[in-house]
Chains A and B, each alone.
Chain A
Amino acid sequence: DAKTTQPNSMESNEEEPVHLPCNHSTISGTDYIHWYRQLPSQGPEYVIHGLTSNVNNRMASLAIAEDRKSSTLILHRATLRDAAVYYCILSAWNTGNQFYFGTGTSLTVIP
Chain B
Amino acid sequence: GAGVSQSPSNKVTEKGKDVELRCDPISGHTALYWYRQRLGQGLEFLIYFQGNSAPDKSGLPSDRFSAERTGGSVSTLTIQRTQQEDSAVYLCASSLGTSGPQYFGPGTRLTVT
Q: Footprint of B on A, CB under 8 Å?
A: 1, 32, 34, 42-46, 49, 87, 91, 93-94, 96-104
Contacts and interface: CB of A to CB of B under 8 A. Distances in A.
A97 B43 contact: no
A45 B104 contact: yes
Contacts, number: 61
Contacts of B33: 98-99
Given A97-B95, A99-B35, A46 B43 contact: no
Contacts of A104: 42
Interface of B: 4, 31, 33, 35, 41-45, 48, 50, 56, 59, 91, 93, 95, 97-107
Contacts of A43: 4, 91, 93, 104-107
Nearest to B101: A46
